[in-house]
Amino acid sequence: MSPSLTLLGLLALTSVSSSYGKIYENASDIPSLDSYGYVIVGGGLTGSVVASRLTENSNTTVLVLEAGVSHQGVEIIEVPGLQSFTGPGTIYNWNYTSVPQVHLLNNTIPAPRGHVLGGSSSINGMWYTRGSSADYDRWANVTGDQGWLWDELQSYFKKSESLVAPVDGHNTTGQYDPALHGTQGPLQVTVGGFSQSLDQLVMGRLDQDFPFIEDYDNGEPIGFGWTQTTIGNGSRSSAATAYLDDYLNRTNLDVAVNSLAIRIFASNGSRIDTVTFTANGLPINVTARVEVLLAAGVFNTPHILLNSGIGDASELSAMNIPVVHNLPSVGKNLTEQPAISSLWNTSNPVSAAQAEVDYENAIAQWNSNRTGRMVLAISNTVGFARMNVSSPEVQALVEEYGELAPGPASPHFELLPTNAFDAETNFENAQFIFDSVNLVPYSRGSVTLNSANPLGPPLIDYNFYSAPQDILVMRQAVLGALSFISTPDWQDFLTAPASSLLAAVVDEYPNVSNATMDAYIRATTSISFHAVGSCSMSPAGADWGVVDPDFHVKGVAGLRVIDTSIMPFAPAGHSQAAAYVIAERAADIIKGST
């Protein structure tokens, strides 16, 4: 059976049951559309967390509207090793695409987000990395709210998390610091439960240039360490499995899937209280007696606000959308960390026939006891590094732009070594991928409406490399990856670059010309799946930004945004852990205001 046939077989198993707990697949089954205290738009990561926490109070009623389907019974979501099957082209993804990128040869780039309960936590790579302490301290300084300080947020990191043992039962001493982690939270986090030869190859490379770090969640994540992922008992731990599944028997929590929110408005007076959503193509209104909470994500939250007349007045008027509130920052400040996946051929290729056998055996083992290769998300190791300060180019960069990271212990880029065991893109050949990610992008993009169809997919512009310092950092990130694999052991493992553009860079290494390097960067840059910031926080009285530090949409009563679109800056790592902290803090702030 070929991988494509395997995928078709898996997709055949992913139909969702007609009912489970309090998940309504048909909006007509919702008991009442005017009885809820809170209506949460979006059943993704933050929406699931806040819904769960608010309904801990039996007097608080919540309706969650999710445009996608349920996650329950979907094997390609549950099995960590099948996460690539949830990508573009499936019903579990919004399948958005960017506009042509001016600085990337006019290439378009995917803009994936989860279209399923749990949102992107149900389809992502499951990385759990908090970033640096300076990331959150910068949030606090920018917003004027000391509650966003790293030290103040530690209780929320621990509240959400339960660090669990890997399924292979190996000795984890020295692979993480237990003091940094929670043990009672809903979200399960673990280190890799399946070892591979690549692990020792990475660890054998570490030295003073690439140091080992026991736990990169300590707030100063410089070095290579063992990956932490949101996996428990061999299965994906998403916001939906962690925060919804066990609580759907609450009489005060309802979840409606297949329910696409299109606008919000004030039904009586100036306070936002109503959400219009479509189900089976028909518009339906639901009213929130206390607040509407937008958790539709970095692309869809600004999309809903703009279609509701909340945004830049001149832009809205040009589209004949009645202006409810002039808030020019809506959809601006879109921030994504550009990434390059350098692909190499290796010295131990696997035949198509053997790869198929290995794959089927791994699936069978997972189905038998939730162990084996399929419990590994992507990689067991990851590194965070700063630019080479001895480089004249780096010195010139710092002289011109200053320190690009928020603190001296914050990384500039991420290095991610991965075996290309990927059933979707490269199943039949044993290849090696080394990702280089710019963690401190200064380019800012936007999310806007399509004038031809404002209710259709938004126009997403990452605007990569519009800030000149970003491509300079990416040069350093690619050079860092090449330096890492320059040792004899690595050269024995790798045979040749898998693309001519990478080969041209390697041929000139270590003195790669900017022309050769930039040709490679502009042709191969994609996303890291960490888009944030399109509805940024700012101080309560500031005339810029979209929400205040307590999540209220500025100048609008009855409405908050509670998702990752509020981040003023991306954390120096994967955005998932920070999203859980945002949601946990939002729930507490909302509870405290009632």
List Cβ neighbours of 523 (8 Å cut-off, separation of 6 or more). Answer: 104, 105, 107, 501
Catalytic residue set: 530, 574
List Cβ neighbours of 1 (8 Å cut-off, separation of 6 or more). Answer: 9, 356, 360
Q: Which fold has domain 3-74+240-334+533-592?
A: FAD/NAD(P)-binding domain (3.50.50)
Contact 379, 203 (CB under 8 A): no
Nearest to 165 by CA among 187, 196, 191, 128: 191
- pLDDT per residue, tens digit, the chain (594 aa), is 333 334 433 433 333 333 345 899 998 899 899 999 999 999 999 999 999 999 999 999 999 999 999 999 999 999 999 998 998 899 999 999 999 999 999 999 999 999 999 999 999 999 999 999 999 999 999 999 999 999 999 999 999 999 999 999 999 999 999 999 999 999 999 999 999 999 999 999 999 999 999 999 999 999 999 999 999 999 999 999 999 999 999 999 999 999 999 999 999 989 999 999 999 889 999 999 999 999 999 999 999 999 999 999 999 999 999 999 999 999 999 999 999 999 999 987 777 777 788 888 999 999 999 999 999 988 999 999 999 999 999 999 999 999 999 999 999 999 999 986 544 334 444 689 999 999 999 999 999 999 999 999 999 999 999 999 999 999 999 999 999 999 999 999 999 999 999 999 999 999 999 999 999 999 999 999 999 999 999 999 999 999 999 999 999 999 999 999 999 999 999 999 999 999 999 999 999 987
Contact 101, 109 (CB under 8 A): yes
Helix (H) or strand (E) holding 586: helix 576-592
- In the DSSP assignment, the letter for residue 300 is H
Question: Has 116 been labeled as part of a binding site?
Answer: yes
- In angstroms, rounded to a whole number, what is the distance separating the alpha carbons of residues 208 and 462? 35
Q: What is the 3-state secondary structure of 326-366?
A: ECCCCCCCEECCCEEEEEEEECCCCCHHHHHHHHHHHHHHH
Distances (CA, A) of 90 to 8, 94, 104, 115: 11, 8, 26, 9
Q: Which residue has the tokens 């890799």?
A: 192
**What is the pLDDT at residue 358?**
84
Q: Considering all CA atoms of the chain, what is the largest pairwise distance in Å, rounded to the nearest integer?
A: 72
Nearest to 555 by CA among 543, 571, 537, 564: 543
**What is the pLDDT at residue 87?**
83
Task: Go through 507-521 and write b for each residue having 16 or more CB atoms within 10 A of its CB, e for each that does not.
Answer: eeeeebeeebbbebb
- Bridge partners (DSSP) of residue 341 are 435
- In angstroms, rounded to a whole number, what is the distance separating the alpha carbons of residues 117 and 244? 9
Contact 61, 37 (CB under 8 A): yes
Query: What is the pTM for the complete model shown?
Result: 0.95
Long-range contacts of 281-287 (CB under 8 A, 24+ apart): 284/27, 284/33, 284/259, 285/33, 286/30, 286/33, 286/34, 286/36, 286/39, 286/63, 286/65, 287/33, 287/34, 287/36, 287/39
β-strand 96-97 against 62-65: which pairing, if any?
unpaired
**What is the pLDDT at residue 30?**
93
Contact 535, 330 (CB under 8 A): yes
Q: What is the 3-state secondary structure of 30-46?
A: CCCCCCEEEEEECCCHH
- In angstroms, rounded to a whole number, what is the distance separating the alpha carbons of residues 282 and 232? 39
* Domain spans of the chain, in order of start: 3-74+240-334+533-592
